Amino acid sequence: MRLLAFLLRRLIRRGVLVVVDAAGRTHRFGEPAPAAPDATIRFRDRATPRRAALDPALALGEAYVDGRMVIDGDDIRGFLDLIGRNTHWDDDAAADLRWWRPWRRSALLTGINWRRRARRNVAHHYDLSTELYALFLDPDLHYSCAYFDAPDATLEQAQAAKLRHITDKLALRAGDRVLDIGCGWGGLALYLHRVAGVEVLGITLSEQQLAVARRRAEEAGVANHVRFELLDYRDVRGTFDRIVSVGMFEHVGPPHYGAFFRHCRALLAEDGVMLLHTIGRADGPAATDRWLARYIFPGGYVPALSQITPAIEDARLWVTDVETLRLHYALTIDRWLARVEAAREAIEALYDARFYRMWRFYLAGALVAFRHDGHLNYQIQLTRRREALPLTRDYMMPPGAQRAAQPAIGASGL
């Protein structure tokens, strides 16, 4: 416990963390602070505190999931929020993150995803029961950052707004041939055809997603216009007027960024447009959280903008627009987590109590990453030719669209 106490004395400054060790001794860290939550954790064995001191992000997650660390009131949100507030990336008074993320420097060793490994990594996460995802996603099964025109929008409203926002940026024309890289359960592809009359090829590496997407296209009577294939992006051939990729780039990996954008350029028509929607990080290149990489997203990597743009430049693509979505994913995940917590019995019936704790820890940790850490989302618009799009961004907000300006959102307002 001594080594963990050494770490926590330096980490917890705002809010109070009470730790009860396996011998029943109580240790208190931090001081009460406005808006900062308090939390109490209890260790059930003597080994876990030492493991947590040596590798906090991995060991604490494993201990919670295994039941070796218990949080009073099962308040995983409060516990992780307390950690997040004390490691707030854009706060000069935050704790030195080197204590919390000792594996940060290993970023260059992550994200090697050859075809076979990429398929295996995708199956690990996306081939879970579709019933699980239906319990916490919107009815259209969009598993990516929503777009909040207003912070109090429902999940369904925000996901619908995301679809409209992406459609505006693609500047679609009836009859365009569209490639959807990482099509999920088919919601975006079906929407684009419905609202713009385009032909869509959606590709995925998930057999579960493919089956659902194809069934939805058949049921909608559009299978001749919206096709779905089990296909790696590196194996796509042909020419497309538009390419869109939402929530897939996080699975490409830094060693493959150059090949990804070069291949996208080769697939894109001369006057074509591409939109890349990806999680990003404002704090520069860093290794994937070890717990997340082991249990949730093997092979996953969240890129910094400084890692993406060199690959775009080398592929000779124009960056025609970049939008930073700073708080939208925090709002999205907050709604997902609430639905997971409400569906506890159903999730435990599908899997078990340990899986429920794992999934809850995953979403609660992600919420903290987007609320307090350097995580955000980028939408990057790309073209082969500078003349491919109008001179101004007005086409992204069609005439008659009433999108009232929203006040700034303070951290306490989330």
For 43-101, give the secondary structure using H, E and C: ECCCHHHHHHHHCHHHHHHHHHHHCCEEEHHHCHHHHHHHHHHCCCCCCCCCCCCCCCC
- Region 291-312 average pLDDT: 93
DSSP run (H or E) holding 233: none
Q: How confident is the model at residue 407 (pLDDT cuts 50, 70, 90)?
A: very low
- Region 225-248 average pLDDT: 97
- Region 86-110 average pLDDT: 58
Could you tell me the pTM of the whole model? Answer: 0.91
Beta carbons of 237 and 229 less than 8 angstroms apart: no
Beta carbons of 17 and 72 less than 8 angstroms apart: no
Alpha carbon distance 282, 76 (integer Å): 25
pLDDT at residue number 287: 85
pLDDT digits (tens, 9 = 90+) for 224-233: 999 999 999 9
pLDDT of 359 above 90? yes
Alpha carbon distance 287, 331 (integer Å): 24
Alpha carbon distance 198, 174 (integer Å): 5
Buried b (16+ CB within 10 A) or exposed e, 65-95: beebbebeeebbbbbbbbbbbbbbeeeeebb
Average pLDDT of the chain is 90
Domain coordinates of the chain in residue numbers?
2-102, 108-396
**Residues 6+ positions from 183 with CB-CB distance below 8 Å:** 189, 202, 203, 204, 209, 213, 228
pLDDT at residue number 146: 98
pLDDT at residue number 398: 62
The rounded Cα 47 to chain-centroid distance in angstroms is 32
pLDDT of 411 above 50? no
Q: Where are the alpha helices (DSSP H) in 256-320?
A: 257-267, 290-295, 305-314
pLDDT of 120 above 90? no
- Region 254-283 average pLDDT: 97
Indicate the residue type of 159.
Answer: Q
- CATH homologous superfamily of 108-396 equals Vaccinia Virus protein VP39 (3.40.50.150)
Q: How confident is the model at residue 316 (pLDDT cuts 50, 70, 90)?
A: very high
Q: What is the residue whose two structure tokens read 């080594």?
A: 3
pLDDT at residue number 237: 97
Residue 210 vs residue 106, higher pLDDT = 210
The residue among 208, 59, 157, 136 whose CA lies nearest residue 367 is 136
The residue among 305, 306, 345, 310 whose CA lies nearest residue 325 is 305
Beta carbons of 271 and 385 less than 8 angstroms apart: yes
Beta carbons of 340 and 363 less than 8 angstroms apart: yes
pLDDT at residue number 36: 85
**Residues 6+ positions from 313 with CB-CB distance below 8 Å:** none
Count of CB atoms situated within 10 Å of the CB of 25: 9
pLDDT at residue number 116: 61
Residue 119 vs residue 16, higher pLDDT = 16
pLDDT digits (tens, 9 = 90+) for 191-200: 999 999 999 9
SS3 185: coil
pLDDT at residue number 298: 87
